[in-house]
């Protein structure tokens, strides 16, 4: 990840960005981006408070101070139904008592030692994950999905190096993917919006059109190391890869001596109703990246690999200061306790089916707005017609105290906690319906005033 620039010890012109002086204050402040409506409150936004936080997010003007299950409570006391789940992170909702207990108990014992020593929690969690995902023999713990994907890429390249083929470094990926925000992972996804302004993209990636089998066949060459794909594209618009395609990728990799990497950062850890999304296809990867749900809100990531795929990852080839720390491992084990409990994944499948049925009924109610309902398990997306921008829907949902997340292909993501109830799903559909009526009314006004 990028490091801070070192200080200049010799005299030189100061070319650092200048702070902006706020004429209403004796303190300096950083410039803020202009904001439009305050959709969280449903009124015109006042000037945002002075903040030194980099404006890399177009944040909604609402601050949450606590959570209870599927609910978030803002500083003004308003309650929001949270179907964003921190972008598919809060797998057990907010303030889950068992996660609180695990974190609190560990916090009273030991926080951090580094990876210079054995960490009991790592050994326990890795054993459990490898039993749950039989393809995997080795795991490296990190802190985020981007780090997990970086590690997966390094593992694939190092495998070929260890086998005497250092030239095999290229990774085939697909448009619409999202693998993180590091220089390597934005190059892997090939999204021009994320690449702009950061120089030449990191080399070694062949980004192909999603679903183009002919292009895939042509892209495989002597320097190809692996194929990397999300079984369900998240930011790309909740696009599940067809089962036959995942099987085809496995066959291609076996035929050409490539490694198959699954990025299950968003779709893994029970999100689709199986512990891992690839289980629905009956295929296994050689390497897999996970994060988000395994921490239930605490920063945890990992990449998992077969013993053969991990053969090149010897001492000194990779590292992480904070990865796999005792706090993270305590929470990860507690999450796994719940997700692997008898009946838990059956519950996810049951409520997911109910949710999909209610979203389909909503499509019938708003045929001029909704194009398609798609997804897998509780990783659902509602794709809107071009006349209804998904951003407008997200904002209207927030006005109705219902939190959702936008995605590519004009999709709104709805990703509730995995322990959601049918009653809470029903409430979500009611609020989404109200939001769509609000958008429709705004569209009618705009049309009448044109």
Question: Using alpha carbons only, what angle is made at residue 12 by residues 11 and 16, rounded to the nearest 5 degrees?
Answer: 125
Going by their DSSP bridges, the two strands 239-240 and 232-233 should be labelled as antiparallel
What per-residue confidence (pLDDT) applies to 1? 41
Tens place of pLDDT per residue across the chain (450 aa): 443 333 322 233 343 344 433 333 333 333 333 333 333 333 344 456 778 999 999 999 999 999 999 999 999 999 999 999 999 999 999 999 999 999 999 999 999 999 999 999 999 999 999 999 999 999 999 999 999 999 999 999 999 999 999 999 999 999 999 999 999 999 999 999 999 999 999 999 999 999 899 999 999 999 999 999 999 999 999 999 999 999 999 999 999 999 999 999 999 999 999 999 999 999 999 999 999 999 999 999 999 999 999 999 999 999 999 999 999 999 999 999 999 999 999 999 999 999 999 999 999 999 999 999 999 999 999 999 999 999 999 999 999 999 999 999 999 999 999 999 999 999 999 999 999 999 999 999 998 887
The 10 Å Cβ neighbour count of residue 273 is 22
pLDDT of amino acid 50: 78
Q: What is the pLDDT of residues 106-155, one digit of tens each?
A: 999 999 999 999 999 999 999 999 999 999 999 999 999 999 999 999 99
Q: CA angle at residue 297 from 265 to 85, to 5 degrees?
A: 75
DSSP string, 5-70: PPPP-S-----SPPPEE-TTSSSEE-------EETTTTEEPPPPPP--S---S---S--EEEEEBT
The secondary structure element, H or E, covering residue 370 is strand 370-376
What are the structure tokens assigned to 170, written together? 């290229």
Domain ranges of the chain: 3-95+343-368+383-390+405-449, 97-339
Residue 129: closest CA among 366, 336, 326: 336
Residues 187 and 243 sit within 8 Å (Cβ to Cβ)? no
Distances (CA, A) of 281 to 209, 211, 286, 389: 21, 16, 15, 33
Name the CATH topology of 97-339: 3.40.640
Is the pTM above the cut of 0.85? yes
Write out pLDDT tens, residues 310-345: 999 999 999 999 999 999 999 999 999 999 999 999
Closest to 396 in 3D by CA, of 441, 436, 428, 443? 436
pLDDT of residue 14: 41
Contact 176, 359 (CB under 8 A): no
pLDDT at 10: 26
- The residues near 6 (Cβ < 8 Å, ≥ 6 apart) are none
- Do 3-95+343-368+383-390+405-449 and 97-339 come out as alike in CATH topology? no
Q: How far is CA 80 from the centre of its chain?
A: 21
Pick the CATH number of 3-95+343-368+383-390+405-449 from 3.30.70.270, 1.10.238.10, 3.30.230.10, 3.90.1150.10: 3.90.1150.10
């Amino acid at each position: 990840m990028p490091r801070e620039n070192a200080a200049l010890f010799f005299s030189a012109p100061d070319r650092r960005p200048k702070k902006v002086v706020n004429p209403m204050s004796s303190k300096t402040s950083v410039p803020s981006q202009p904001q439009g409506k305050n959709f969280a409150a449903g009124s015109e936004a006042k000037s945002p408070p002075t903040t030194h936080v980099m404006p890399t997010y177009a944040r909604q003007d609402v601050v949450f101070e606590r959570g209870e299950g599927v609910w978030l409570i803002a500083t003004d006391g308003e309650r929001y139904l949270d179907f964003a789940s921190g972008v598919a992170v809060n797998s057990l909702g907010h303030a889950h008592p068992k996660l609180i207990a695990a974190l609190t108990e560990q916090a009273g014992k030991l926080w951090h030692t580094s990876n210079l020593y054995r960490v009991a929690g790592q050994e326990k969690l890795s054993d459990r994950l490898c039993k749950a995902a039989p393809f995997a023999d080795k795991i490296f713990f990190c802190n985020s999905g981007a780090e997990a994907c970086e590690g997966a890429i390094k593992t694939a390249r190092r495998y070929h190096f260890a086998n005497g083929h250092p030239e095999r470094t290229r990774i085939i990926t697909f448009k619409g993917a999202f693998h993180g925000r590091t220089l390597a992972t934005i190059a892997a996804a090939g999204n021009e919006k994320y690449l702009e302004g950061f120089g030449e993209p990191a080399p070694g990636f062949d980004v192909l059109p999603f679903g183009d089998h002919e292009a895939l066949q042509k892209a495989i060459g002597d320097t190809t190391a692996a194929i990397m794909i999300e079984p369900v594209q998240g930011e790309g618009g909740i696009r599940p890869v067809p089962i036959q395609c995942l099987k085809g990728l496995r066959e291609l990799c076996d035929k050409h001596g490539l490694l198959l990497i699954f990025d299950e950062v968003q779709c893994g850890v029970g999100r689709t109703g199986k512990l891992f999304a690839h289980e629905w296809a009956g295929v296994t990867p050689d390497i897999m990246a996970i994060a988000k749900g395994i921490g239930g809100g605490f920063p945890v990531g990992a990449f998992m690999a077969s013993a053969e795929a991990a053969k090149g990852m010897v001492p000194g080839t990779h590292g992480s200061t904070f990865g796999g720390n005792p706090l993270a491992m305590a929470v990860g084990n507690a999450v796994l306790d719940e997700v692997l409990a008898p009946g838990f994944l059956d519950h996810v499948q049951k409520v997911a089916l109910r949710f999909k049925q209610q979203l389909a009924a909503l499509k019938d109610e708003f045929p001029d707005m909704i194009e398609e309902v798609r997804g897998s398990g509780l990783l659902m997306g509602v794709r809107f017609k071009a006349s209804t921008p998904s951003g407008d829907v997200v904002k209207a949902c927030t006005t109705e105290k219902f939190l959702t997340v936008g995605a590519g292909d004009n999709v709104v993501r709805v990703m509730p906690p995995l322990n959601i109830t049918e009653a809470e799903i029903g409430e979500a559909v009611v609020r989404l319906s109200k939001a769509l009526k609000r958008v429709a009314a705004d569209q009618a006004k705009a049309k009448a005033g044109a």
